[in-house]
Amino acid sequence: VETLATTRADCVALDAADPLGPKRGAFELPPDVVYLDGNSLGPPPRLARERVQQLLDREWGTGLVRSWNDAGWIEAPLRVGEKIARLIGAAPGEVVVADSTTVNVFKLLSAALALRAGRRVIVMREGEFPTDGYVTQGLAAMTGAELRCVAATDLEVALDADVAAFCVSHVDYRTGEMLDLHRLTDAAHRVGALAMWDLCHSAGAVPLDLTAAGVDLAVGCGYKYLNGGPGAPAFCMVATSHHERLQQPLSGWMGHAAPFAFEQGYRPGTGITRLLSGTPAVLGIAGLEAGVDAWQGVDMVAVRAKSLALAELCVTLVDQRCSGLGIEVVTPREAARRGSQVSLRFADAYPLGRALIARGVIGDFRPPDILRVGLTPLYMRYVDIYDAVEAIHDVLTSGVWRRPEYAVRTVVT
Ligand SMILES: Cc1ncc(COP(=O)(O)O)c(C=O)c1O
């Protein structure tokens, strides 16, 4: 009989002693599920049910159009932006909630080209989350900007006096590798370029201090670690020093200095408000605000400590239980180079993932061969990791993942 260094009872004991343990009660999670996909879609905070109900009944239902003023709908993008600013170490007035990450990449990279007029190169990394690349290709086609795509290890050498900005994910969506945000931001500044970070896999996942790092621009999404709900609005961050000269091409009425003056010419609003374009998605922002409020009073240092402990546990158990089964950990083993996920490589990761989901162990698949285990310390338990690795072991040793139904591709993976 194989002896494990860590038993299920050990994990139960770790959960009992976990200072973040009680936070799990703030979320609605089905009892028969091991949820490993909070890095793709966070579960509903209990607060969301209450808030959305109130929005439907009282604000939309009874207040009707008066609620734009009376229920704070019009201020919601800035109000929730302030709360996100605190989570990512940005200053007050530097973050606003709007649109999707994709649209925000377009707005901010356009703004970066305008702030660095005369420079036309945008640096990105190979293997970047595709939407960032797609939208930058569109922007390049419109503006004549040039896209310079390099390996993550070559980002620093790709920066020169032609570069307006880089736009790079802080944590890689596939491998979970975390780049050195301070170092790359400094490298951009040394050549007079702007540093723009995609924080989709960082906000609510790892401690961030954008102000201390001198980050110029950032985007991130609301539905992953912030638990804002499916398709929740995204956020944009712009350092205060750039506000006055900030121009973005989707200059809609909500970013105007006086939207309800109905002037014919565009005059940008003050500060970060000029990043707004159209009417805020009030229902979506309500979910996002509930998600962000679930973070109140949470110490990001404790979150990071637990995330690293969950990762260690996962890596150790996979090494022990799954050696010789064709599966390996691809996330960096050094804690400092890791975001808040563990990625496993297996040649048939897609059917493996489907077979796990059929057992109630929900992770996700990213091509060509990655099974992702998202680590979300607010509601994840040590025992979830234990049960997930046992399920992986069982599914691999029994060969159940080979069933033909698990090979059928769903639209969303
Ligand atoms: C790094 C990164 N950027 C962008 C996105 C998605 O952007 P959007 O919210 O526009 O769909 C994701 C979603 O998974 C992502 O991981």
For the segment 167-184, what is each residue's pLDDT rounded down to a tens digit? 999 999 999 999 999 999
**Residue of 51, 107, 125, 224 marked active site:** 224
Give CA–CA dist 350/364, Å, rounded.
Answer: 8
- Rounded to the nearest whole angstrom, what is the distance from the C-alpha of residue 214 to the centroid of ligand 1? 23
Nearest CA to ligand 1 atom 12: 200
Nearest CA to ligand 1 atom 8: 101
pLDDT of residue 4: 54
**Residue of 83, 372, 379, 384 marked active site:** 372
Is residue 147 within 8 Å of residue 176, measured between CB atoms? no
- Rounded to the nearest whole angstrom, what is the distance from the C-alpha of residue 320 to the centroid of ligand 1? 33
**Residue of 18, 37, 132, 198 marked active site:** 198
pLDDT of residue 413: 87
- Rounded to the nearest whole angstrom, what is the distance from the C-alpha of residue 40 to the centroid of ligand 1? 9
Name, in order, each residue with C-beta under 8 angstroms of 242's C-beta and a sequence gap of 6 or more.
111, 115, 216, 217
DSSP state of 36: -
The H-assigned helical ranges of 116-180 are 130-143
Backbone angles phi, psi at 280, to 5 degrees: -65, 145
Give CA–CA dist 123/141, Å, rounded.
Answer: 15
**pTM exceeding 0.95:** yes
166 is catalytic: no
- The pick from 129, 226, 370 for probing ligand 1's pocket by mutation, whose C-beta has the most ligand atoms within 8 angstroms, reads 129
Nearest CA to ligand 1 atom 7: 101
**Residue of 129, 225, 350, 382 marked active site:** 129
364 is catalytic: no
Task: Using the structure block, give the residue that is written with the tokens 């944009």.
Answer: 236
172 is catalytic: no
**Residue of 106, 166, 223, 382 marked active site:** 223
| 273-to-63, 188, 201, 237, 336 alpha-carbon distances in Å | 25, 26, 24, 11, 35
Q: Report residues of the chain scoring pLDDT below 70.
A: 1-5
CA proximity to 102, closest of 251, 216, 215, 236: 236
pLDDT of residue 2: 46
Q: Is 167 left (phi over 0), alpha (psi -120 to 50) or beta?
A: beta
37 is catalytic: no
- The pick from 103, 125, 173 for probing ligand 1's pocket by mutation, whose C-beta has the most ligand atoms within 8 angstroms, reads 173
CA proximity to 111, closest of 231, 254, 219: 219
pLDDT of residue 387: 98
23 is catalytic: no
Ligand 1 binding residues, C-beta < 6 A: 100-102, 129, 131-132, 169, 173, 198, 200-201, 221, 234
Task: Using the structure block, give the residue that is written with the tokens 């302030």.
Answer: 82
Encoded amino acid at 214, one letter: G
Give CA–CA dist 108/100, Å, rounded.
Answer: 12
Helix (H, G, I), strand (E, B) or coil at 334: coil
